[in-house]
Amino acid sequence: MSWQDAIPNPGALAVVQRNFGVWRKLLLPSMLGNFGDPLLYLLALGYGLGHFVGHMDGMPYITFIASGIVASSVMNTASFEGLYSAFTRMSAQHTYAAMLATPLRVSDILAGEVLWAAIKGLISAIAIIIVASFFGAIQGPWVWLSIPVILLSGLSFGSLALVITAMARSYDFFMYYFTLAVTPMFLFCGVFYPLHSLPAFAQDIAQVLPLTHAVALMRPLLTGQLPRQVPYHLGVLLLYTVIPYLIAWRLLVRRLLR
């Protein structure tokens, strides 16, 4: 197969439609988690820890952390969907094998999965934005401009997760990714504190990670400001979408069509 075969057809939307139909049956418990988790974070950290922290980077700590939680939630939701849910469809339920018996190709399945992971990340982010808005933690005229940033971030984390899924032989394999990638990004990419508080070498490492750039774009938009270095941050997120997608496609072709 050539790399041109990695370009998906509109059939990828059928994969999204299929996944949405399954998710819709679990809509209530899923939405409960989307609204409940951010509420707990905002109460425990925004108000609890914020009482001692006060202001950070010129804004109340609950505002600072709410925008960070939006970005991290996109990462967590898209990663979980691209790991556990996608692996279940691929390995346990053999859904991918059934899809390949139709005119769908590997690239269609992969693109549909990545897009669905991004949509799930967007749903989670919107839920947090709604909850945080009731606390006055998110406001300003640029909130809606964060939607394309959220989608691009979800595509990035979905593509990265599908690379791991394409290599995994069991669910246990995902613990490496969470321990070595997701958790460090959650802790060191500016969700809970500004990056300039880290040592210089840690700041340099953080600049290589996609969550740093998602936070750098979302936080200003969600707090009534415009982000800086927009092309740079968007470019990094785009690279984290395209390159992992191509790697995941190659790995899935070998795994599904061998």
DSSP code string of 120-131: HHHHHHHHHHHH
Query: What is the per-residue pLDDT for 29?
Result: 77
CA atoms of 150 and 135, how far apart (whole Å): 21
SS (H, E, C) 62-117: HHHHHHHHHHHHHHHHHHHHHHHHHHHHHHHCCHHHHHHCCCCCHHHHHHHHHHHH
The full DSSP string for 228-243 is: SSHHHHHHHHHHHHHH
How far apart, in Å, are the Cα atoms of 107 and each of 11, 18, 90, 136, 211? 9, 16, 14, 42, 25
Which of 36, 156, 15, 166 has its CA nearest to residue 95?
15
Instruction: Give me the numbers of helices (H) and strands (E) for the chain, helices first please.
Output: 13, 2
Nearest to 110 by CA among 161, 75, 71: 161
The DSSP call for residue 8 is: P
CB 113 within 8 A of CB 86: yes
Q: Which residue has the tokens 């995941």?
A: 248
Output the pLDDT for position 1. 64
**pLDDT digits (tens), the chain, 258 positions:** 677 888 899 999 999 999 999 998 887 777 777 677 777 877 788 777 777 888 888 888 989 999 999 999 999 999 999 999 999 999 999 999 999 999 999 999 999 999 999 999 999 999 889 888 888 888 888 999 999 999 999 999 999 999 999 999 999 999 999 999 999 999 999 999 999 999 999 999 999 999 999 999 999 999 989 999 999 999 999 999 999 999 999 999 999 987
User: In this predicted structure, what is the pLDDT of residue 118?
Assistant: 97
Among 62, 148, 165, 147, smallest CA distance to 110 is for 165
CA–CA separation, 250 and 244 (whole Å): 10
pLDDT of residue 111: 97
Residue 184 C-beta-side C-alpha neighbours within 13 Å: 14
- Report DSSP state, residue 225: -
